[in-house]
Amino acid sequence: MPSLKALRGRIVSVTSTQKITSAMKMVAASKLRRAQNQAGAAKPYAERMERMLAALAAAASGGPGAPKLLAGTGNDKTHLLVAITGDRGLAGAFNANIGRMTRARVGKLRAEGKAVKIFAVGRKGTDYLSHEFPDLVVDSVNYAGRKSINFADAQAIAGRITALLEAGEFDVCTLLYNRFHSVISQVPTATQLIPAPKPEAAAAEGVHAIVEFEPAEEEMLAQLLPLNLAVQIYRAQLESAAGFYGSQMAAMDNATRNAGDMIKSLTLRYNRARQANITNELIEIISGAEAV
Amino acid sequence: MALELEIVSPDRIVLSKPVEMVVLPGAEGELGVLVDHAPMVVMLQPGTIRVTEDGKVTDEIAVDGGFAEITGARVTVLVSGAPAA
């Protein structure tokens, strides 16, 4: 049985932990709102980019000199996995989910006899993956200490990926990130970036058959494709950021509740111990008095 | 019938309204777009987009390049950065 003093100390310590977790929950909630707004604001651009690209790809498809970003290298030997995680922890299984997913993919691709390379985005993922697969991580980037990411960051990543592609470092590029499903649920998702998946029945608008291009399709694709890559990465990063704060909020909510339960049970034990002490003292006094 | 103009950057919708005419800084020269323009996709060079309503220039927006999709009733401009006019 711990002493009264020890119990009191534990109650104080759990109470201050609870204060911290509930403050973190509030902070995560407000950051979540900001991240959601940013993700929402980026959506129109991505949607229109998709529409424009679909029109272009339909017009330029079949050409023998199709750009690598669209058609890939024609091989399927080396896979590049771009894993997007958060820069901080204390967000439940958020980062671990991406780590686990990446590990499973690496195992599967290796079993098929393919080479794997990893581009880690986010500090947590970089730490985990460079420990787990030290010889696979070819590049990494993190935004620790930054308030929010912007489009230029995504463009920088896209630029590095394009450079790797041009150097023939990989054939297929897949993006792994937490898709923001709702505040309490983030779904680890894999999206293939290169070669770009065929746009599904994009020409539904019909009119697009006779679109003019200025300059010609090929030249325009060469400009548009890197931009599109950046847009897709940007969208994934924003969703991941929103998901991170959602996950952190849920984790901190749980921690606050657990701390509350713990304080309750510690207080109960403390009061019982105190009562037992008093009873003991009374018994001593009474039996002393009776003995006289 | 008016032309629906939309200017979108990665961070926000910069402008969205019906206009009479828009002049775009195309990579191969400026072009003015009126309603019922032939469908086309144009690459832009750094310059200004001029928006005309009722015969007067109402907005001038500086862009650092981008793409414009033109259909008969709509012009969608994707820019990577557009400061407020």
**pLDDT tens figures, B20-39:** 999 999 988 899 999 888 88
Instruction: Please answer whether residues B2 and B16 qualify as being in contact, where contact means their C-beta atoms are separated by less than 8 angstroms.
Output: no
Give the whole-angstrom CA distance, residue A279 versus residue A282: 5
Which residue ranges make up each domain of chain B?
A: 3-79
**What mean pLDDT is reported for chain A?**
88
Q: Is B13 an 8 Å CB contact of chain A?
A: yes
The listed CATH number (2.60.15.10, 3.40.50.620, 3.40.50.970, 2.70.40.10) that belongs to domain B3-79: 2.60.15.10
Q: How many CB pairs below 8 A link A and B?
A: 69
A216-to-A68, A284, B41 alpha-carbon distances in Å: 17, 101, 10
Residue B71: the pLDDT is: 86
Residue A206: the pLDDT is: 46
Give the whole-angstrom CA distance, residue A155 versus residue A63: 27
Give the whole-angstrom CA distance, residue A181 versus residue A264: 34
What's the pTM value of the predicted model, to 2 decimals? 0.85
Residues of chain A above pLDDT 90, percent: 59
Cβ neighbours of A223 in B, within 8 Å: 43, 67
**B69 bridge partner residues:** B41, B76
Per the model's pLDDT, the better-predicted residue between A70 and A98 turns out to be: A98
How many CA atoms are closer than 13 Å to the CA of B80, on its beta-carbon side? Answer: 21
Cβ neighbours of B39 in A, within 8 Å: 207-208, 210-212
In this structure, of A6-15, A103-112, A219-228, A264-273, the range with the lowest mean pLDDT score is: A219-228
Q: Is B43 an 8 Å CB contact of chain A?
A: yes
Give the whole-angstrom CA distance, residue A80 versus residue A257: 41
Residue A62: the pLDDT is: 53
Residue A203: the pLDDT is: 45
Q: How sure is the predictor about A65, in pLDDT bands with cuts at 50, 70 and 90?
A: low
**Backbone torsions φ then ψ of A22, nearest 5 degrees:** -75, -30
Distance from CA of A212 to the nearest CA of B (A): 4
Give the whole-angstrom CA distance, residue A82 versus residue A87: 15
* Rounded average pLDDT over A77-92: 92
**Chain segment A238-255, per-residue pLDDT in tens:** 999 999 999 999 999 999
With an 8 Å Cβ cutoff, the interface of chain A facing chain B consists of: 38, 41-42, 44-45, 48-49, 51-52, 55-56, 150-151, 207-208, 210-215, 219-220, 223-224, 227, 231, 234
**Backbone torsions φ then ψ of A2, nearest 5 degrees:** -65, 155
* Whether the predicted pLDDT of A227 surpasses 50: yes
Other Cβ atoms less than 10 A from the Cβ of A117: the count is 20
**Chain segment A186-216, per-residue pLDDT in tens:** 999 998 888 877 655 444 444 445 678 878 7
* DSSP secondary structure of B7-39: EE-SS-EEEEEEESEEEEEETTEEEEE-TTPPP
* Rounded average pLDDT over A152-163: 91
* Rounded average pLDDT over A38-58: 84
Q: Hey, which residues 47-66 in chain B have their CB within 8 Å of chain A?
A: none
Cβ neighbours of A224 in B, within 8 Å: 67
Residue B42, amino acid: V
**Token match 């309503």: residue?**
B53
Cβ neighbours of A227 in B, within 8 Å: 80
Residue A13: the pLDDT is: 96
Distance from CA of B13 to the nearest CA of A (A): 7
Instruction: Please answer whether residues A84 and A102 qualify as being in contact, where contact means their C-beta atoms are separated by less than 8 angstroms.
Output: no
Q: Inter-chain contact B78–A211, Cβ cutoff 8 Å?
A: no
CB contact set of A229 (below 8 Å; sequence gap of 6+):
A69, A158, A161, A162, A193, A194
* Rounded average pLDDT over A44-70: 75
Q: Is B35 an 8 Å CB contact of chain A?
A: no
A236-to-A64, A222, A232, B5 alpha-carbon distances in Å: 31, 22, 6, 28
In this structure, of A173-187, A191-205, A235-249, B47-61, the range with the lowest mean pLDDT score is: A191-205
Q: Is A95 helix (H, G, I), strand (E, B) or coil?
A: helix
Instruction: Please answer whether residues A178 and A97 qualify as being in contact, where contact means their C-beta atoms are separated by less than 8 angstroms.
Output: yes
Mutate to test the interface with B, among A53, A149, A211, A238 (most CBs of B within 10 A): A211
Residue A64: the pLDDT is: 54
**Chain segment A115-129, per-residue pLDDT in tens:** 999 999 999 999 999
CB contact set of A210 (below 8 Å; sequence gap of 6+):
B38, B39
Mutate to test the interface with B, among A34, A48, A225, A235 (most CBs of B within 10 A): A48
Distance from CA of A40 to the nearest CA of B (A): 9
Give the whole-angstrom CA distance, residue A227 versus residue B8: 14
Distance from CA of B65 to the nearest CA of A (A): 11
Number of helices (H), then strands (E), belonging to chain B: the values are 0, 7
CB contact set of A16 (below 8 Å; sequence gap of 6+):
none
Dig out the tokens for A183 from the structure.
């505040």
Q: How sure is the predictor about A222, in pLDDT bands with cuts at 50, 70 and 90?
A: confident
- Chain B's closest residue to A233, CA to CA, is B10
* Rounded average pLDDT over B51-73: 88
Q: Which domains does chain A have, with CATH numbers?
A: 21-251 (3.40.1380.10)
Residue A204: the pLDDT is: 46
Strands A115-121 vs B74-79: parallel, antiparallel or unpaired? unpaired
Residue A288: the pLDDT is: 94
